[in-house]
């Protein structure tokens, strides 16, 4: 949800009006929109229809164990009619529908936009265009700003994260990203076992990271394997190549000019598409 909110902010910054659609609890969970952008971003909530065995108030994958996520998808499928009626009642020419399945979304679209950039993933962007037989438009990484214009809060409890990081030596902090939608079992939390196989293999291929050895049956892994990989990429001599490549990739991440150009090209693509239609 947060990447879509960053997408909405980036469009609003460029003067476009955006309708952000989700469910009531998910809308409430979103961070506050900056006051200078709020007139251009309309938040619309659709109440999920009742689905048998779906827990009350479950509206996102973080509310459910993995084995029950299919119930959430079924509930979102029930929003197809109200969502279509909403689109018909507005003058909006573009919409994002979480209820659609990936295949039907791709088939029904005129082009695909992805949160990426050519310097980072040109190979995969080109491959997607070949597979989908549609234009694939990267929109940049949509990274939140930390200069106060897009992020107003950098605290966790009473700790300011930026100040805390500034108090540590360079390259001495390990950041573990579990994702805002991740639901872990107590054992997974204990072992830090998170199934990110596809992501880790892409990073492994680019020598930006190392995939942790995992159980072939259930995808889990042990703390000893986690510690071994951390020592390799952060401390050991053999891990220099990963640290060097990560520093190189940091320049791509931090290239705001490039990301802004990707997004401006995306907006231009939308505007041209609207004119053609």
Average pLDDT estimate for 29-41: 90
Beta strands 155-156; 159-160: pairing state: antiparallel
Of 80-84, 87-91, 171-175, the poorest mean pLDDT is in 87-91
| Least confidently predicted of 60-64, 191-195, 241-245 | 191-195
- pTM exceeding 0.75: no
pLDDT at residue 46 in the model: 92
**For residue 93, what pLDDT is reported?**
46
List pLDDT tens digits, range 197-238: 556 677 777 788 887 777 777 667 788 888 898 899 888 999
Residue 222 to residue 190: CA distance in whole angstroms:
9
- Tell which residue, 222, 232, 233, 228, has the closest CA to residue 193: 222
pLDDT at 9: 92
């Amino acid at each position: 949800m947060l990447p879509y909110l960053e997408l909405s902010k980036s469009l609003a910054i460029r003067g476009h009006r955006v309708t952000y659609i989700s469910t009531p609890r998910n809308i409430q969970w979103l961070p506050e929109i900056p006051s200078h952008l709020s007139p251009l971003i309309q938040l619309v909530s659709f109440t999920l229809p009742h689905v048998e065995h779906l827990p009350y108030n479950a509206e996102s994958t973080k509310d459910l164990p993995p084995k029950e996520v299919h119930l959430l998808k079924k509930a979102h499928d029930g929003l197809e009619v109200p969502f279509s009626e909403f689109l018909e009642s507005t003058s909006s020419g573009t919409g994002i529908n979480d209820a659609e399945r990936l295949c039907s979304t791709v088939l029904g679209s005129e082009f695909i936009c992805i949160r990426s950039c050519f310097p980072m993933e040109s190979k995969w962007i080109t491959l997607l265009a070949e597979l989908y037989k549609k234009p694939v438009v990267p929109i940049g990484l949509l990274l939140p700003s930390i200069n106060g214009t897009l992020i107003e809060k950098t605290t966790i409890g009473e700790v300011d994260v930026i100040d805390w990081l500034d108090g540590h030596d360079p390259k001495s902090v390990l950041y573990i990203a579990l994702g805002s939608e991740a639901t872990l079992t107590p054992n997974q939390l204990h072992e830090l076992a998170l199934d990110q196989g596809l992501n880790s293999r892409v990073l492994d291929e680019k020598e930006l990271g190392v995939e942790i050895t995992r159980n072939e049956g259930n995808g889990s892994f042990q703390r000893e394997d986690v510690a071994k990989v951390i020592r390799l990429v952060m401390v050991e001599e053999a891990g220099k190549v990963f640290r060097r490549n990560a520093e190189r990739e940091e320049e791509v991440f931090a290239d705001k000019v490039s990301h802004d150009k990707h997004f401006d090209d995306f907006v231009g693509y939308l505007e041209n598409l609207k004119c053609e239609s």
